[in-house]
Structure 1
Amino acid sequence: MKLHKLLLFLLLVTFASKGFAQSSSELKRKKEAIQREIELLQRNLNKAASSKKLTLGEIRALNAKIGLMQNKITVINSEIKNLDNQIHENTNTVHSLRDQLGQLKKEYAGMIRFAQRNRNSYDKMMFIFAANDFNQAYKRIKYLQQFGQYRKKQADYIQGTEKNLNYKIVVLDKSLKEKNNLLREQENERQRLDKNKSERATVLNQVSKQEKRFRQDIATRKRQQAQIDRSIRDAIRREIEIARRAEEARRKAEAEEAARVAAAAAAKAKAENRPAPAVVAEKPKATGNYLNATPELAKLSASFESNRGSLPWPVANGTITERFGKHTEGQASYDNSGVTITTGEGASIRAVFNGKVTKVSSVMGMYFVLIKHGEYFTVYQNLRSVSVAAGDNVTTKQTIGVVANSGEMPELQFQIYRGATAQNPESWIAR
C-alpha cells in the first residue's frame, strides 16, 4: 500500500509539473509577442526622431509602447508567481521524497536483517518441513519466493526514488536560477519603463508649449477624417439604397406575377361558368435589413458575425496605438470611428473576411478600400497603393494594398460598420 501511495504521489507531481510547463510556455510566448510589438514601435519612433516636428503618431506610439512595457512587467510577475508555486511544490516534493526514501530504506534494512538471520538453506528447509501439512508447506515455499521478489522490488523502488529525488533537486535549482533571472529582467524593464515615462513627460511638456500648433494639427486631422468618413458613410448608404431598390423591385415583380396568375385563374373560372377562386392577399415580408434580403447575403452576414472576436488582423504585425471612440490631446478632442494600427513601413494590408469590394477611393492622396460582407462593411484607410478594384471579390487575408505613412508613422485606420453604424473593431479581431 505504501508503494502504491508513493506511485500515486509521483504521478500527481508529474501532472502538476506538466501543467506548470504549459502555463510557463504560454507566458513566455506572450512576453515574446509583447517584446516584438515594443521593438516595432521603437523602430518607428527612431525613424520619426529625425523629424523636428512632433506628430500625433509619435505620441500615440509612445503611449502604446509604455502600455506594452507595463503589460510585459505584468507577464513577468505572472512568470515569477508561477515559479514561486513550482518552487514551493518541488520543495514539498523533495521533503516528501526524502521521507519516503528514509522509510523505504528502513523497511529494506529490516528485510536484510531478516534475510541475514535466515541466510542458510538449512534454516529455510526447516521452516518448510516444520509445516503441519502439505498445503501449509506450499504456502511457506511461496512466501519465501515472494519475499525474495518483494525485496528486489523494494530495492528497485529505492533506486527509482533516489533518482527522482535527485532530478527534483536539479529542477528546483534550475527554477531558483530562473527566478533570479526573471527578477533581474523585471528590474531592467522597470528602469526602461521609468525612462520612457520621463520621455513621455518631456514630450507632453513639448506638446503643452506647442498647444496652438497641436490644436491646428488636430483640427486639420478632424477635417480630413470627417471628409473620409462622409465619403465612407455615403458609400454605405448608397449600398443600402441599391439593396432597397433591388428588394422593392423584386417585391413589385412578385406582386405583378401574383396579380397576373389571379387574373388568369378568374378568367378561366368565368369561362367554365364557376365562381372565381378566392384571392388570399399575401402578407408583406418584413426584411428588417435590405442588405440581408437574399439567402446568400444573409449567410455571409451570419458567417461574419459568427467570427466575432476571431477575425484576423488587417496587418501581419502591428499594435493598436489609438482605440475606438473619443480622444483628447491637450485641449483638443476628436472621435475615432475605428482603431489606428501602427505597423511596419511598407506593410501589406489584408482583407479580414470574404467579401466584395464596393469602393476604392483616393482622398487627399491616400486611398481607402470599402469591402462589403453582407450587412457588414470593413474599411481600410491610409493606403499608399491598392491592388483591388470596385466589384472584385476578395478572400480572407488577401492583400488589398500597402500602408502609407501618416507623418512619420506607417498607420492603418481600420473600421467596421454594421449597416451605417460604426463598431469597435477590437471586439471583432482576434486578441
Structure 2
Amino acid sequence: MKKIKITILFLALLQTFSAVAQSSKIKNLENQREQIKKEIIEINNLLSSNKKEKNLTFRDLEILAAKINIKERLIKINNDQINLLNADIKSNEIKSEELKLENENVRKDYASMIFNSYKSRLKESRIMFLLSSSTFLEAFKRSQYFSQFSDDRKKYSNKILKNLTSLDSINKILKDKIVNKEDLIKSNNAEKRDLSNERNNKNNALSSLKRKENAYKRQINQKQRQADLLDKEIDKLIKEAIRLSNENKKSSTFSLTPEAKALAESFTKNKGNLPWPVERGAIIQKFGLQPHPVVRTTKIKSNGIVIATTKDANVRSVFEGVVLSILKFKGSNLTVLIKHGNYISAYKNLSKVFVEKGDNIDALQIIGEAYTNINDNKTTLQFSIFNNTTPLDPYLWIAK
C-alpha cells in the first residue's frame, strides 16, 4: 500500500514538472516569435528605404534573402507553438474527462450513502439507535458512527464542489488555448503566403541581375579574401596582446589581473543579454561557414555576423572594457577591438572612430560610425566576439 502511495505521488509530481516545463517552452517560443517579428520590421524598414533607389543591387537581394530566412524561422516557431498547444489541449481534454468520470463516481457514492442513511432512518430513529445499545462502549461507538457519517457527507460534498471548480477552470483554459491555436494557424498561413511572395520577388530580382552574376561572384570572392586577411591580422593582434599579458611567456590565453578576471566573469554572465552594437538593424549574414544568401553555389566563411543598419548609424560598445587596437587594413575600413578580460569584441567596417587605443570604454558608449557604401548606399557593420583567439557566434551573446 505504501509503495502504491509513493508511486501515485511520484506520478503526480512528474505531471506537475511536465506541465511547468511545457509552459516554459511555450513562453520561450513566444519570446522568440516576438523577437523575430521585430527583426522583420527592421528588414522591412531597410527594404523600404532601398526602394527609393532606382537600381536594384545584389545587396538588396542579400537583405531580401535574410528576410526570407527570418520568415522561415518564424513559421517554424509558429509550428512548434501549435504542436505544443495541441499537446496541451489533448492533456486538458484528458484531465477534463478524468474529472467528469471522478465526479460521476463521487456523486454515485454520495447518493448511495444518502439512500442507505434514509433507509436506516425508516427503521429506527437516531436516539433509539443509541438507547438500544447494550453497553456504554457500544453507545459510544454508535455515536462515533453518526459523527463519521456526517464528516463523510461533508467530504463528498466538498469533493464534488472542488471537482466542479477544477472542471470549470480546465474548460476555460482549454477554450483559451483553442482560440490561441486558431490565431496561430491563421498567422502561420498568412506568413506562408508572404514567404511565397518574397521567394518570387527574390527569384524575379535575381533573374533581372543574372547578367551581372559572374561579376558579383568575383566581388564575393574578393570580399572573402579581404575578410580572411583582416581576420588574420586581428588574430595576430590578439596573440601579441596575449604574449604581452604573459610577459613574453608562451601561452594561448590572457594572463588576467583580478580586476580583468572579474570583468571576464561579468561578460560571461551576460551571455544572451548583451546589447546590439547598433540601435537598429537586422542580421543579414550569420556566423561560420555557409552558402552565400544570394549565390547559393558560393560558400562564405564569417568569424562574426553582418548587421544591416541605417545610414551613418552610431556603433556602440556592447560591454565595458579597454580599446585594444584600432586597425586600418589595406582594402578594408576601420576596425575597433575592445578587450573585456579574456574576451574581445570587434567592430568592423567603420567610417569613423571616436576612441583611441588604451581608452576605458563604458557599455553602450559610442565608439564610431558604420560605413555606408557609396555604390549601393547600404550601411553594414561586421561584429565579432573572441574568447582569447577563438571566434564565438555573436548571435548567441546579444539580446533577443
CA distance in structure 1 between the aligned counterparts of 2:347 and 2:115, rounded to whole angstroms: 84
User: How far is 1:106 from its partner?
Assistant: 0.8
Q: Does 1:415 align with 2:384?
A: yes
Asked if the contact 1:304–1:373 (Cα under 8 Å) also holds between the matched residues in 2, the reply is no
Aligned to 1:405: 372
Larger radius of gyration: 1
Asked if the contact 1:311–1:352 (Cα under 8 Å) also holds between the matched residues in 2, the reply is no
Moved more, 195-204 or 351-360: 351-360
Q: Which amino acid aligns with 1:409?
A: K
CA distance in structure 2 between the aligned counterparts of 1:45 and 1:146, rounded to whole angstroms: 77
Asked if the contact 1:350–1:400 (Cα under 8 Å) also holds between the matched residues in 2, the reply is yes
RMSD over aligned CA atoms reads 4.0
| 1:62 paired residue among 61, 64, 88 | 64
Aligned to 1:349: 315
Question: Using a 3 Å threshold, how does the CA distance of structure 1 residues 155 and 416 change in structure 2: closer, same or farther?
Answer: closer
Asked if the contact 1:304–1:353 (Cα under 8 Å) also holds between the matched residues in 2, the reply is no
Instruction: Kindly provide the CA deviation profile for residues 237-285 of structure 1, in whole angstroms up to 9, marking residues without a partner as x.
Output: 77578x39x936xxxxxxxxxxxxxxxxxxxxxxxxxxxxxxxxxxxxx
User: How far is 1:153 from its partner?
Assistant: 2.5
| 2:306 paired residue among 330, 333, 340 | 340
* TM-score normalised according to structure 2 size: 0.79
The number of residue pairs the alignment matches comes to 387
Instruction: Kindly provide the CA deviation profile for residues 59-87 of structure 1, in whole angstroms up to 9, marking residues without a partner as x.
Output: 22222211111111111111111111111
Alignment of 1:20-35 (within 5 A): 20-35=22-37
Moved more, 173-182 or 102-111: 173-182
Moved more, 194-203 or 335-344: 335-344
Asked if the contact 1:348–1:402 (Cα under 8 Å) also holds between the matched residues in 2, the reply is yes
Aligned to 2:196: 194
| 1:425 paired residue among 363, 388, 393 | 393
Alignment of 1:99-248 (within 5 A): 99-119=101-121, 123-215=125-217, 217-218=219-220, 221=223, 232=234, 239=241, 243=244, 247=247
User: How far is 1:298 from its partner?
Assistant: 7.7
Instruction: Kindly provide the CA deviation profile for residues 400-422 of structure 1, in whole angstroms up to 9, marking residues without a partner as x.
Output: 23434344433211234567x57
* TM-score normalised according to structure 1 size: 0.74
Aligned to 1:369: 336
% same residue: 26
Question: Using a 3 Å threshold, how does the CA distance of structure 1 residues 58 and 378 change in structure 2: closer, same or farther?
Answer: same
Q: Identify unmatched segments of 5+ residues in structure 2.
A: none
CA distance in structure 1 between the aligned counterparts of 2:161 and 2:184, rounded to whole angstroms: 35
Instruction: Kindly provide the CA deviation profile for residues 374-402 of structure 1, in whole angstroms up to 9, marking residues without a partner as x.
Output: 66543212334433222201244443234
Instruction: Kindly provide the CA deviation profile for residues 200-238 of structure 1, in whole angstroms up to 9, marking residues without a partner as x.
Output: 111222332222542564467468657866775675577
Alignment of 1:371-386 (within 5 A): 371-373=338-340, 377-386=344-353
Asked if the contact 1:292–1:298 (Cα under 8 Å) also holds between the matched residues in 2, the reply is no
Q: The residue matched to 2:126 in structure 1 has which SS?
A: helix
CA distance in structure 1 between the aligned counterparts of 2:179 and 2:268, rounded to whole angstroms: 46
Question: Using a 3 Å threshold, how does the CA distance of structure 1 residues 375 and 294 change in structure 2: closer, same or farther?
Answer: closer
Asked if the contact 1:309–1:427 (Cα under 8 Å) also holds between the matched residues in 2, the reply is no
Asked if the contact 2:332–2:349 (Cα under 8 Å) also holds between the matched residues in 1, the reply is no
CA distance in structure 2 between the aligned counterparts of 1:294 and 1:216, rounded to whole angstroms: 43
Alignment of 1:223-302 (within 5 A): 232=234, 239=241, 243=244, 247=247, 287-289=249-251, 292=254, 295=257, 299=261
Q: The residue matched to 2:247 in structure 1 has which SS?
A: helix
